[in-house]
Chains A and B, each alone.
Chain A
């Protein structure tokens, strides 16, 4: 391969646009800056010991959260670019080919590399603390999950500077993602990065499901679990059941492109619609994977800030389980227009509408929890209050989309775009931000500034409605999704301008949010009590930030809202007697998860360009990592009781 050929493969014209070259320079400078800073402050060892090799769920949570916020920035910039292009009729803010790439990366990043890791950040940060456990069931697997996610995310984000981004939409439908019509490496990047990140996600699902069923503190029966734990359990089960079809669909598409099979090709009897079927077999449960954890968050937040027990706990549990079951029987509503016939479409239309029932039940339960309570309007609670009307309207337009004949009209229009942003931003993003403000003190040991948080909240909330209300109307006026530009005179211009203004307001919200995080990190009020919100669940019984071993003594649970119950009975924070503390078995740090992530990245990168020697090197790395783990029996160490006693005493939690 000649040098010029290599240069053309890695840097085709699509990545030599002026804006991308500018970003290239910025990234190189930022990278050099970070490397320089690490070297200058001699932080390489610290980085390796404390972060890259860690198996501590609390640190993994922090890494997930940082990754998710960075991805929120990237996905948000993509969104602003899309809105800039659509602000005026006949605009050429960017070339059409780049527009295709930007809407593809916006969707893929927001779903797979922003929302999912953010949710796993919450699981990692909170689940073991809430159930009274010292770690997750499989700490090393947990780190592997993170590094596989990171490998996938980095591979995906590499595409826009090396080789060209994917451009077949976040769903990657064939035939447009087929090799014949899409010969560049972009779609290879898409399939490989999602496969690698998907493996990590599946492992996370297994890990948290097992953690919750097997590692609860004594006395915490199923019906005493906080609702966030129920939602984490159901989400993990959904991950287990939903990701395999995605893995299969992605692998088959990749084989079509790289190894010449004929699953979804137009030639040789391939069936592109089978990809769509498999993708949505995953895709619909995925929607619930994205929102159910936040139902859990809202259930905790509303109870804490209303100073009341959650209203109708058993009904909440039943409705969450009902949503889980029903979410498996609705996937065809994403492709009613395929023409599967009235029998199929009616079945899936009805099953879709059924989901509105358990969801509605939950909405009423949250409202009744606030009813008669002393509601505190913290930022976390404001997001909860914004979530309820936003999600209800998003859900209602979803029911409209489930009406099959009407869907033939709405399908792939901006009405659909507005609908799913209404539920994903209203449900998922508001929930994530609520959780961010609620659990930030537990994760980092300081409260976020409430005043700045309220600014960010109002910018997000108002910006959201200004952006997406016009899009419903645009959809009804016939504007279709993924449209590059439009002529004037269709009555779309003004509404698009309003929508773009809304997007800018949301962008300002993000800037304020980041300012809030940085400002609070430096100047924020330290949380010395460990219980800044007068919380109800076990994580608030611990100091902030939580020591490595979580619980010096595993608590015994006697009721729902276990910590609230303990506080009512007058159990103080310093109730620990020295003789209650014993040696604690802790998992040992390991470089294997990080190296495994590197190896998968190498395989993914090599396969994207079909450079087989690189794939073989990466494959060998994977085999070595697995072999090493298989023969490694030295995976834990003991924390001496005295060390724990000293640590607890320094926190003022030891008697005597």
Chain B
């Protein structure tokens, strides 16, 4: 909401945009001297990818359980990308993107799950 374009600190920007009910949108920044987090993120994503691959190729579980496990691994990896690489919680003032993102995850899961549920109808009129 500031009209000025001078370099603000994160805290100043947050104070300007503050809305007491929205403390959970306070942005968090991460700075460091060496990209350790990125390297760990890359290693983590490789490990998760190959873990899923090995689980499936060796058929270690019955199909439905196996699918649940690898989907869980995929969700963890998505979280990793968002947190480590996409700087999910950063923003000037408030990290507004968090609200639509949380909503869209719910809606996306609902859309896929409900569509499967609705479209698995067997007969015309039951």
- Let me know if chains A and B touch directly in the complex, using CB atoms closer than 8 Å: yes
Interface membership of B115, Cβ < 8 A: yes
Q: Which of B93, B103, B110, B125 contacts A339 (CB 8 A)?
A: B125
Closest to B21 in A: A222
In angstroms, how far is the closest chain B Cβ from the Cβ of A134?
Answer: 9
Q: Which of B35-43, B51-59, B62-70, B116-124 contacts A (4 or more CB under 8 A)?
A: B116-124
Asked whether, in the complex, the Cβ of A328 is within 8 Å of the Cβ of B110, the reply is: yes
Q: Which of B22, B118, B124 contacts A332 (CB 8 A)?
A: B118
Distance between Cα atoms of A35 and B67 in the complex (Å): 64
Distance between Cα atoms of A241 and B99 in the complex (Å): 13
Interface membership of A47, Cβ < 8 A: no
Asked whether, in the complex, the Cβ of B96 is within 8 Å of the Cβ of A241, the reply is: no
In angstroms, how far is the closest chain A Cβ from the Cβ of B8?
Answer: 14
Asked whether, in the complex, the Cβ of B123 is within 8 Å of the Cβ of A339, the reply is: yes
Q: Which of A214, A277, A337, A342 contacts B115 (CB 8 A)?
A: A277
Q: Which of chain A's residues have a CB closer than 8 A to the CB of B6? A: none
Among B111, B122, B123, chain A packs the most CB atoms within 10 A around the CB of B111
B interface, size bucket: 20 to 34
| Contact A221 to B19, CB < 8 A, known contacts A213-B96, A216-B1, A328-B107 | yes
Looking at chain A's contact residues, the main secondary structure is helix
Q: Which of B19, B96, B121 contacts A338 (CB 8 A)?
A: B121
Asked whether, in the complex, the Cβ of B104 is within 8 Å of the Cβ of A241, the reply is: yes
B interface with A by C-beta (< 8 Å): 1, 3, 16, 19-22, 93, 96, 100, 103-104, 107, 110-111, 115, 117-119, 121-126
Asked whether, in the complex, the Cβ of A214 is within 8 Å of the Cβ of B123, the reply is: no
Asked whether, in the complex, the Cβ of A222 is within 8 Å of the Cβ of B96, the reply is: no
In angstroms, how far is the closest chain A Cβ from the Cβ of B26?
Answer: 15
Interface residues of A in 51-83 (CB under 8 A from B): none
Closest to A213 in B: B96
Interface membership of A344, Cβ < 8 A: yes
Q: Which of A209, A241, A554 contacts B3 (CB 8 A)?
A: A554
List 15 A-B residue pairs with CB atoms under 8 Å apart, sorted by A's residue number. Answer: A209-B100, A215-B1, A216-B1, A217-B1, A221-B19, A221-B20, A237-B100, A274-B115, A277-B115, A281-B111, A328-B107, A340-B118, A341-B121, A344-B118, A554-B3
In angstroms, how far is the closest chain B Cβ from the Cβ of A57?
Answer: 18
Distance between Cα atoms of A281 and B119 in the complex (Å): 13
Q: Which of chain A's residues have a CB closer than 8 A to the CB of B96? A: 213-214
Interface membership of A223, Cβ < 8 A: yes
Asked whether, in the complex, the Cβ of B115 is within 8 Å of the Cβ of A241, the reply is: no
Q: Chain A 206-241 against B: per-residue CB contact (8 Å), 1 yes, 0 no? A: 000100011111100111000000000000010011
Interface residues of A in 490-515 (CB under 8 A from B): none
Interface membership of A271, Cβ < 8 A: yes
